[in-house]
Amino acid sequence: DLSEFRDRSKSGSTGQHMTIYEVIDRLRATFRSGVTFPEQFRMTQLQNLLSLVEENEQLIQDALHKDLHKPKFESVLSEIQITLNDLYFAMENLRTWMQPEYNIGKNLATRMDDCFIRREPLGVVLIIGAWNYPLHLILLPLVAAIAAGNCAILKPSEICQATEQLLAELIPKYLSQDCYAVLCGGAEDTKSLLKNKFDHIFYTGSQVVARSILLAAAPHLTPVTLELGGKSPCFIYGHIDIHKAAKRLCWSKFFNTGQSCVAPDYVLCTAQTRDALLPALRETLRTFYGPDPGASLDMGRIVTPRHWRRLMDMLEKSKGKVVIGGESREEDRYIAPTVLVDVQESDALMQEEIFGPILPILTIESLEEGIDYINRQEKPLALYVFSDETSVVTTVLNNTSSGGFCGNDGIVHMALPGLPFGGVGASGMGSYHGRWGFETFSHRRGCMNRSWLLERVNVLRYPPYSDYNLGWLRWATTFKKNSWGGCSVM
């Protein structure tokens, strides 16, 4: 049963209605023709995407403001600039990334052969975006998909309607319509979309939906990258400049109104640290947003009334004590930056990812207690430690696991394209950013080009077998400690 998507690829608002199958078929036919493979094509498309972002900065900022009340600064920093940087990075490195990798160890038996690893495009990939950073969470994977030579279908989050519309309008204008399509729709439409076969699915969002995506991918044996979330813990322990720490903590927590997958979800510290932290937090918040954050231009809003209600419910059910903030307004989905203390493990705020401007502080007596607590939960997407003491940082690093880690700051580890960005366990699988995205959307094909020579040596492996031949083969192929790479059977 065919589901109709409004495909605006044809142009603007008078788009023809095309079925999903037709769109996917068209992309698949284009991929088969090999047009996306040459470096020049990929470079051109990346260049066009660059122009898309550069030429429409104002429109993008407006759309983001409309959807999320995103302050201009945040739009520039966390949506536009991060996309531009990834594009510059990809364009500068595309040629290197595309080169077959020759510098791999060879053994005695293959010394005369050409051995290399090719990176090849996968085919037609599906990229599903999220609503909290509606631009970069869909464009960064697209950059990687284009760089790797694939065709791509983009499915932006329907929650951010202005951004969704903008993408649907701009992408066909700047990028090749035969290779990249934007499909808009809700949950039901996404379900139908997933019934089709893709060569890779890239999803950013929640665990619940992630499971259904994996289940939909299994019958097609489609590889999947999942960028999920979790409760990212933040240790503040040992000797530390509490004012600087408070600044960075506040910035990371309340950026995008706490709606970041890598926002520090909750704080773990001793009672002593907490007592020093609270005044520092108050002071920082006042400096950032003034006495009334609701009136500050730099404070965002919660994305929808439903999400606002969820946060308010959690706050109401919480048994912790609100020491900072707590104000809220339903009309414009405002929640003040809020800090709670005396929060226990069983608290309503500690059962699921908060994803809002609410910061619970859990008191611990020792670092081990905090580490044990973290290890009882699911592996988070990010983990933070604020401490001047290297031993504290090292202890936490060695005894926990998380997608990524940042010491003495929050969020910024994802801005470095050299670092892979992704989760582990319940926080996701796979990674991207920079070269990692290119690798995600490529197939690494191991190639060996054997020479015709040395057939006399090859004879050792053929039947009829004998102890004599086996002896020589063993000698020739056994890995010796100082040889390059590994030897295996000839």
Partner 1 sequence: MEKQAVQRAREAFLAGRSRPLEFRVQQLKSLQRMITDRQGEIATALKQDINRSQYDTPLFELIGLENEISLAVSKLAQWAAPRPVERNLLTISDQAYIQPEPLGVVLIIGAWNYPWALTLQPLVGAIAAGNAAVVKPSELSEYSASLLKALLPRYLDQELYPVVCGGVSETQELLRQRFDHVFYTGNSTVGKLVMEAAARHLTPVTLELGGKSPCYIDKDVDLRVACRRITWGKFVNCGQTCIAPDYILCEPSIQNRVVEGIRQTLLEFYGPDPKSSPDYGRIINQRHFNRLMTLLEGYTATVGGQSDSSQRYIAPTVVKDVPPQARLMQEEIFGPLLPIVTVSDIDDAIHFINEREKPLALYVFSSNKKVIKRMLAETTSGGVTVNDVIMHYTLNSLPFGGVGQSGTGRYHGKHTFDQFSHHRACLVKSLGMEEVHMVRYPPQNHQKVRRVRLAMRTPLVDFSKGTYIWAVTASIVALGLLIALTVILILAAGVNCTCL
Which 403-432 residues touch partner 1, going by CB under 8 A? 403-409, 412-421, 424-426, 428-431
Contact range with partner 1 by CB under 8 A, out of 5-13, 48-56, 236-244, 359-367? 236-244
Which residues in the 250-279 window bind partner 1 by CB under 8 A? 251
Q: How far is the CB of 177 from partner 1 (least distance, A)?
A: 24
CB neighbour list of residue 372: distance below 8 Å, 6 or more residues apart = none
Nearer CB in complex with partner 1: 279/471:
471
CB 434 within 8 A of CB 88: no
**What residues numbered 431-470 form the site for partner 1, per CB under 8 A?**
431, 443-452, 455, 458, 461-466, 469-470
Interacting residue with partner 1 among 68, 90, 143, 217 (CB under 8 A): 217
Site string for partner 1, 289-318 (x = CB under 8 A): xx-----xxxx-------------------
| Residues in 160-199 that interact with partner 1 by CB under 8 A | 199
Tell me how crowded residue 144 is: count the other CB atoms within 10 A of its CB: 28
Q: How far is the CB of 455 from partner 1 (least distance, A)?
A: 6
Name the residue among 153, 147, 98, 146 with its Cα closest to residue 124. 153
Q: In whole angstroms, what is the distance from residue 59 CA to residue 65 CA? A: 10
Long-range pairs, 32-37, Cβ under 8 A, ≥24 = 35/178, 35/179, 36/121, 36/146, 36/149, 36/150, 36/151, 36/179, 37/121, 37/149
| Cβ 277 to partner 1 shortest distance, Å | 14
The binder of partner 1 chosen from 1, 92, 316, 365 (CB under 8 A): 92
Active site residues: 227, 261
Measured in degrees and rounded to the nearest 5, phi and psi for residue 219 equal -60, -25
Stretch touching partner 1 by CB under 8 A, among 137-145, 155-163, 203-211, 361-369: 203-211
Tell me the number of residues near partner 1 by CB under 8 A.
Answer: 119
Nearest 5°: phi and psi at 239? -70, 125
Q: Which is nearer to partner 1, 122 or 362 (CB)?
A: 122
At residue 174, the 3 state secondary structure works out as: helix
Query: Is the Cα dihedral 258, 261, 265, 268 positive or negative?
Result: negative
Beta strands in 243-373 (DSSP E): 266-269, 321-324, 328-329, 334-335, 338-341, 358-363
Structure token pair of residue 35: 């047009």
Among 65, 118, 173, 310, binds partner 1 (CB under 8 A): 118
H or E element in which residue 233 lies? strand 233-236
Report yes or no: 226 and 259 within 8 Å, Cβ to Cβ: no
Q: Are strands 338-341 and 321-324 parallel, antiparallel or unpaired?
A: antiparallel
Least spacing, CB of residue 459 vs partner 1, in Å? 9
Closest CB to partner 1 among 185 and 430? Answer: 430
Site string for partner 1, 26-65 (x = CB under 8 A): ------x-x--x----------------------------
> Of 6, 72, 191, 282, which one interacts with partner 1 (CB under 8 A)?
72
Output the furthest CA–CA distance in the chain (Å, rounded). 88
CA-to-CA distance for 87 and 47, rounded, in angstroms? 8
CB of 334 to partner 1, least distance (A): 16
For strands 334-335 and 328-329, give the pairing: antiparallel
Q: What is the Cα–Cα distance from 283 to 250, expressed in whole angstroms?
A: 10
CB of 342 to partner 1, least distance (A): 28
Residue 448: which of 490, 416, 408 has the closest Cα?
490
Can the peptide bond before residue 464 be classed as cis, meaning omega within 30 degrees of 0? yes
Distance (Å, rounded) from C-alpha 174 to C-alpha 182? 12
Q: Which is nearer to partner 1, 82 or 127 (CB)?
A: 82
What is the nearest approach in angstroms of partner 1 to the Cβ of residue 96? 11
Report, in Å, the least distance between residue 442 CB and partner 1: 10
Nearer to partner 1, 141 or 420 (CB): 420
Residue type for position 165: Q
Binding piece for partner 1, criterion CB under 8 A, among 5-13, 60-68, 150-158, 223-231: 223-231
**Contact call for residue 228 and partner 1 (CB under 8 A):** yes
Given candidates 58, 221, 272, 346, which one binds partner 1 under the rule CB under 8 A?
221
Question: Considering beta carbons, is residue 164 or 227 the nearer one to partner 1?
Answer: 227
**Interface with partner 1 in residues 314-373 (CB under 8 A):** none
Q: How far is the CB of 89 from partner 1 (least distance, A)?
A: 6
Q: Residue 264 in contact with residue 410, Cβ under 8 Å?
A: yes
Measured from the CB atom, the residue of 254 and 266 that comes closer to partner 1 is: 254
